[in-house]
Amino acid sequence: MAESLAFALAENLAAAGLAVDTCYQCRKCSNGCPLVFAMDLPPDRVIRLALLGGEAELLACRTIWVCSSCETCTTRCPNGIDIAGVMDWLKEQAVAKGAAVPEPEVRDFHRAFLGAVKLMGGRLSEPVVMALYTLKGGRWLTKLRRSAAAGELATALGLLKRRRLPLTPPPRLGGAGEVARILRRW
Ligand code: SF4
Ligand code: SF4
């Protein structure tokens, strides 16, 4: 029974097209990861724990939120393991299972990004992402208190001057309804 529980996580990953059982711990993934310095578990350890059924530790770790999905690890793995995909899958599981998130800013940014795509009918608008992220959880108030708002406003004005911050909404996509359906659960 304990053995089948240990393998349940690896089996669920395999069912999602993310098999990890060929990992032989060469650590090429961790050696190439540009963000390993900020992680509490290096990518090879994440894969090892996935094989050993360490779900609780994985859903609570900082690594899955620090990962930027750059896919360097996936490209370097000699066994074709999609480590970046595993990180994304674990993030989804952490949210679905209500695990405590050690990097709430990253989770909120993901939500702001998806919220903006939903609002804009399948297109991305950077100002909307920024607005949703800043409004979340009273973050704007904290920024005001720390006088960070002035610096960010100056950055925004600089971007506007260089036409790098479009204020007009992008044209809506033909399949906006379909995108909204895909994003409904978020
Ligand atoms: S690169 Fe692939 S085989 Fe090597 S440790 Fe990472 S996941 Fe395992
Ligand atoms: S996808 Fe994530 S774990 Fe892989 S190399 Fe990039 S930051 Fe590191």
pLDDT of residue 170: 78
| Whether 186 contacts 114, CB under 8 Å | yes
More confident residue, 46 or 142: 46
Q: Whose CA is nearest to atom 5 of ligand 2?
A: 33
pLDDT of residue 168: 81
pLDDT of residue 81: 98
| pTM greater than 0.95 (yes/no) | no
Ligand 1, residues 22, 75, 77, 86: which to mutate, most atoms within 8 A of Cβ? Answer: 77
Nearest to 63 by CA among 81, 85, 46: 46
In whole angstroms, what is the distance from residue 56 CA to residue 52 CA?
11
Q: Which tens digits make up the pLDDT trace of 114-148?
A: 988 888 888 888 888 888 988 887 777 776 666 67
The enclosing H or E element of 159 equals helix 148-161
In whole angstroms, what is the distance from residue 95 CA to residue 49 CA?
19
